[in-house]
Every structure is written in C-alpha cells, then in structure tokens.
Amino acid sequence: MDNVQPKIKHRPFCFSVKGHVKMLRLALTVTSMTFFIVAQAPEPYIVITGFEVTVILFFILLYIFRLDRLMKWLFWPLLDIINSLVTTVFMLIVSVLALIPETTTLTVGGGLF
C-alpha cells in the first residue's frame, strides 16, 4: 500500500490571524495619521505615523508575496517583533505628546488611535 499523505494547503496571508492583525494595525495607524493631517497637528506626528504606515505596508506586501520564504537568511519573526516594539514606543510617545498640550479634538483623536 502506498502511504499517500495529503498535501497541506497553505492559508493565504490575508485570511490568517497574522494578516488580520496587520490589517487592523494598518487601519488604526492610517486613522491616526488622517486625524493628525486634518487637525493640522505638528509635523513630527504626521511624519512618524506616515513612517509607521510605510513600514506596516512593507511587511504586509512582504508576507502577501511570500518573500519571507525566499529570503531565509533573515529571521522574519524577530524583525516583526522588533518592529512592533519600536512602533509601540514611537506611537506611545506621539500619543502622549499629542494629548499633553491644549489641542483640537482631532489631534486628541489621533493621539487616542
């Protein structure tokens, strides 16, 4: 008898839990940046959130096109964790700075998102 093992189908990134978390993170960061732009907040707020949007988009495209499987010399989970930690620190600083002075409600909304 032949031991035929079924081929395991790979779940697309967009339908995985990791994909949903990244998409949610992208949506929250874009919302925050939109609030900062509409409120005409100081430029560093907009630049930092724009940078984070770019990095998140880079990781999403990287995982969608499965480039992480081609570049095995990088340990992608570690890079993902480091990116998340740096993003958390930067966004925490931006949100606290956005909430400290008397600002418009849109700037406060951007800081909360």
d(CA 6, CA 83): 36
Is residue 1 pLDDT above 60, yes or no?
A: no
Is residue 27 pLDDT above 90, yes or no?
A: yes
Q: What pLDDT was estimated at residue 30? A: 92
User: Stretch 92-98: mean pLDDT, rounded?
Assistant: 75
How far CA 16 is from CA of 20, 45, 55, 63, 107, in Å, comes to 6, 31, 19, 11, 33
d(CA 35, CA 112): 10
pTM: 0.72
pLDDT grade for 5, boundaries at 50, 70 and 90: low
**Domain ranges, ordered by start, for the chain:** 77-112
Closest CA relative to residue 51, chosen from 11, 13, 89, 14: 89
Question: Tens digit of pLDDT for each residue in 35-46?
Answer: 888 988 888 888
